[in-house]
Amino acid sequence: MKMKQLLQETKTIAVVGLSNKPDRPSYGVTKYMQAHGYKIIPVNPSCSEILGEPCYPDLSSIPVPVDMVNVFRKSEDCLDVAHEAVKIGAKSLWLQMGVINQEALDYASSHGLTGIMNKCLMVEHRKLGL
């Protein structure tokens, strides 16, 4: 699937590792996506709310369908996230800039998810003019 089509079809984004600190990249990228009409679901076990949305401790706790899982975590944590993304029926797994785990991407792809790695969601969205 082409990136433009992926971003056009995505409506709900679960953000794993979203920080509640405005100076963190995860906060800025997520706020941008939220401002562009995407439903944001923060996944951070140490927060109750970020950007006006309730936080969930993990992907399995989210009570609604998720289109994309956007990951702001250490590369070595991504395989577990990929397993959870498959389990909840997400359509895509997006590993942010600097987050590199080929095994996680391969796992997600082998289970039918579109996988993107080492790219910034906000930068790609802007480039496509969406």
pLDDT tens digits for 45-92? 999 999 999 999 999 999 999 999 999 999 999 999 999 999 999 999
Phi/psi for 89 (5° steps) reads 80, 25
pLDDT at 130: 86
pTM of the model: 0.97
| Domains of the chain as residue ranges with CATH | 3-127 (3.40.50.720)
Q: Secondary structure of 48-62 in the HEC alphabet?
A: CEECCEECECCHHHC
